[in-house]
Amino acid sequence: MNHLGRRLDATAKMTWIGYNGGVVFRRTAHAAYDTAYHLVWSPKYRKQILQGAIAERVRQMFTEIAEHYEITIDEMEVSADHVHIFCSFPPRYSIAQVVTRFKSLSARAIFREYPQVKRQLWGGEFWEDGYFARTVGDKVTAEVIRKYIQHHRTEKESESQIKLFE
């Protein structure tokens, strides 16, 4: 069972098909699609609270939420003061719906499991209201976004600026 009280193996089925010269699409019962989104948001007040057990729990929650809602996470990084998710999801969901699910379900669980966090976030909200979203296109390819997110893992070790468009 996941945090929603549902069995993880009971998620809706999604199949992969090859189409149009080898381009791979995801498929649901009523749609074939090839979407990719880079999503970023921060804890309230950009507090550096996504560390240790809380960061690990956020990663776990995001994975469970993704499995339940047919969201495919390609890359994910939980930094101390923000998260990056590179993902794909069925066209029946808007970007705002997906971000809201990730933020609301994870916040509820974090506040329940780590009540001390509420003292650091005096407004009673875990995440900032806003978010950043970008689709993958011609100039910003999937590989560029993967490279950017992976760079965040080593950012603390090196102060060098990543070059996205070399």
Tell me whether residue 109 is in a domain: yes
φ, ψ (nearest 5 deg) of residue 26: -90, 155
* Residue 45 annotated among the catalytic residues of the structure: no
Maximum CA pair distance of the chain?
Answer: 55
DSSP label at 45?
A: G
Number of domains in the chain: 1
SS3 130: coil
Tell me whether residue 25 is in a domain: no
The pTM is what? 0.75
Tell me whether residue 26 is in a domain: no
pLDDT in tens, 80-112: 999 999 999 999 999 999 999 999 999 999 999
| Nearest-angstrom CA–CA distance, 166 and 164 | 6
Which two structure tokens, joined as six digits, stand for 145?
């976004």
Tell me whether residue 18 is in a domain: no
Exactly one of 45, 93, 114, 148 is catalytic; name it.
148
Tell me whether residue 81 is in a domain: yes
Tell me whether residue 159 is in a domain: no
| Nearest-angstrom CA–CA distance, 27 and 7 | 22
CATH number at residue 145: 3.30.70.1290
pLDDT in tens, 35-66: 899 999 999 999 999 999 999 999 999 999 99
Residue 55 structural domain: 33-154
What is the per-residue DSSP string for 12-23?
PP-EEEEETTTE
Tell me whether residue 163 is in a domain: no
For the cut 60, the answer to whether the pLDDT of residue 68 exceeds it is yes
Tell me whether residue 55 is in a domain: yes
